[in-house]
Structure 1
């Protein structure tokens, strides 16, 4: 292989990778903020035409979205945005609660000064986003805070699973945030974030566990209050049967 040909192929690979990342990030945001409705089709040919790309970077982006649990390929090879099954919400919160308590206890056990700094910054960013009132950025800031805790626990297996759980919950959380913005209700600051950081700082595993559980219950109670029929219908989403 000549040097010129190698450079051409290297540049082409970089371009494909950049294109795949752009498609992935664009579709991920549209799925999380419900611009792409749960259950809606996301076909390679339509996306290739939309983004002006070949199918290769589109396919790469869809594979990554599938790994995140945000899209699903059916038996007939149709790819759809993963439906939201509201009937499974209590089971989702049950699983979220268990892993959230685990990573928070581990963070209290293993945290470093650098970890504490990352958590403090993430908690402050969440508070700042509450003032800004951008639902997608707010749910991203919330995830960043909780992942700072998970990373402090030094267990990548729990952290990876927790990340997927948080992403799955972000679509429901986004509906809650978006409704608050539409109704001009203030976004809630989370003093629990700062309390969790303090418990982790003191390496108080029992208190960290209790605060993580309380935080799960708060998420559950707020979303149950929100998920009344009139609110859900405002978003015109297709949910799983």
Structure 2
């Protein structure tokens, strides 16, 4: 379809449609890591010209969800398993620091927002729709981050949460297969309680345990489903270090 042949639509809606649809499909692993994203095929699929598709792909690249190769083709960003230890180490530090600050600085209004986000997550768990669950999980943790009153730490944390949503999807899948884990709701409730009590040490310990639970279940999922024959010595994480 040529750019001139695009059906009339409100300005920007084509980009929004393509971006949000592809983003959801990437996050939910409908579009698998490494899948080719061809502009022409996508334009035909969405009934639009290549221009809004191209802009949507640029936005997805900014989210680290797609990668443009040297030959100018675009693929869904791979999940880099070898960098997972470093990712979890960064997530652990960001999660603990934001939760500690929230316990120290939270207001009553912050508590109401965090509690509401926790109820939203519990409702999402009941749907068993992983995309809704991961978004509700993100909103819960970002409510905590905002209560910490440090926009730099909050922004860093938000980017890590976004980058980890595909891994969280696999994490949820692992837990729902009855592998002895649980879907974070109890941990969320305990974190809320520690923040309410202004118990900084307990908030820190719970945030740290939260990261470890995600780490351990994700590793077990990968071992059983994707890395059965691959050694995982590289997963000896440094996440046990304390936060100064």
1:163-186 CA deviation, whole Å, 9 max, x = no partner? 221122211221232355466989
CA–CA separation in structure 2 for the residues paired with 1:30 and 1:218: 26
Q: Counterpart of 1:80 in 2: which secondary structure?
A: strand
Question: Cα offset for 1:212?
Answer: 0.9
TM-score (norm 2): 0.81
Map of 2:36 onto structure 1 = 41
CA–CA separation in structure 2 for the residues paired with 1:184 and 1:153: 34
Map of 1:31 onto structure 2 = 26
Question: Cα offset for 1:131?
Answer: 2.2
1:222-237 equivalent positions in 2, closer than 5 A: 222-228=217-223, 230-232=224-226
CA–CA separation in structure 1 for the residues paired with 2:131 and 2:116: 19
Question: Cα offset for 1:187?
Answer: 5.6
1:67-122 CA deviation, whole Å, 9 max, x = no partner? 21111112222211110111221111111101111111222233222221111011
Between the two proteins, the alignment pairs up a number of residues equal to 221
CA–CA separation in structure 2 for the residues paired with 1:154 and 1:21: 31
The structure-2 alpha-carbon separation of the partners of 1:233 and 1:87, relative to structure 1 and needing over 3 Å to count, comes to: closer
CA–CA separation in structure 1 for the residues paired with 2:52 and 2:10: 9
Q: Counterpart of 2:78 in 1: which secondary structure?
A: coil
Gaps of 5+ in 1: 1-11, 235-241
Q: What do you get for the CA RMSD once the two structures are aligned?
A: 2.3
TM-score (norm 1): 0.82
Question: Cα offset for 1:30?
Answer: 0.4
Question: Cα offset for 1:133?
Answer: 1.5
Moved over 4 A (4+): 179-187
Does residue 64 of structure 1 match 2:71? no
CA–CA separation in structure 1 for the residues paired with 2:18 and 2:172: 25
Does residue 90 of structure 1 match 2:85? yes
Gaps of 5+ in 2: 1-7, 229-244
> Which deviates more, 139-148 or 181-190?
181-190
1:201-223 CA deviation, whole Å, 9 max, x = no partner? 22222222121111111111111
Does residue 146 of structure 1 match 2:150? no
Does residue 177 of structure 1 match 2:172? yes
